[in-house]
């Protein structure tokens, strides 16, 4: 089953072209969102995903909905990945860019009045 997802921005609020395109594409069920794209709570998109079953295909007329879904997914996965790394003994710090030797050499060059930029 093809599941359609349409979103009209709060400025535009004219989803008719999207709805027609989704129905013309063969979507049997269409979910329509009129909330701002900046909102995190996308009730119709969530409803569409909950409605879908194995073998169904989501059809989007605006690809920003897919990007927003991926951002939300990343937002959820990142803390979980960091927690898992910490549990394995990994520290939260970045690797040092300079060794102690390189850092001392850089400080010495900065302090040397003979060396100019």
Q: pLDDT tens digits for 13-44?
A: 667 888 888 899 899 999 888 766 566 677 88
| Token reading at 48 | 């569409």
Query: What is the rounded CA–CA span in Å between residue 51 and residue 68?
Result: 19
pLDDT for 29: 92
pLDDT for 5: 86
pLDDT for 28: 92
With a threshold of 0.85, does the pTM exceed it? no
Nearest Cα neighbor of 62 from 11, 21, 26 is 21
Burial per residue of 26-60, b for 16 or more beta-carbon CB atoms within 10 angstroms, e otherwise: ebeebbebebeeeeeebebbeebeeeeeeeeebbb
Tell me the pLDDT of the chain (117 aa) as tens digits: 999 888 876 665 667 888 888 899 899 999 888 766 566 677 888 888 899 999 999 888 766 667 777 888 888 888 988 889 889 988 777 788 899 999 999 999 999 988 887
Q: Of 9, 57, 64, 99, which residue is the catalytic one?
A: 9
Q: Tokens 């969102």: give the residue.
A: 33
Domain definitions of the chain by residue range: 2-87
Query: What is the rounded CA–CA span in Å between residue 43 and residue 28?
Result: 19
pLDDT for 67: 72
Identify whether 9 is a catalytic site residue: yes
Give domain 2-87's CATH architecture: 3-Layer(aba) Sandwich (3.40)
Question: No. of H helices and E strands in the chain?
Answer: 4, 3
CB 17 within 8 A of CB 66: no
């Amino acid at each position: 089953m093809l599941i359609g997802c349409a979103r009209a921005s709060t400025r535009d609020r004219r989803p008719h072209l999207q709805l027609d395109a989704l129905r013309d594409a063969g979507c049997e069920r269409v979910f329509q969102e009129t909330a701002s794209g900046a909102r995190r709570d996308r009730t119709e998109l969530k409803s569409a995903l909950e409605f879908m079953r194995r073998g169904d295909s989501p059809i989007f007329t605006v690809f920003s909905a897919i990007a927003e879904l991926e951002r939300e997914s990343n937002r959820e996965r990142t803390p979980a990945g960091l927690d898992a790394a910490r549990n394995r003994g990994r520290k939260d710090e970045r690797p040092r860019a300079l060794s102690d030797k390189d850092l001392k050499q850089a400080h010495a060059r900065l302090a040397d009045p003979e060396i100019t930029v």
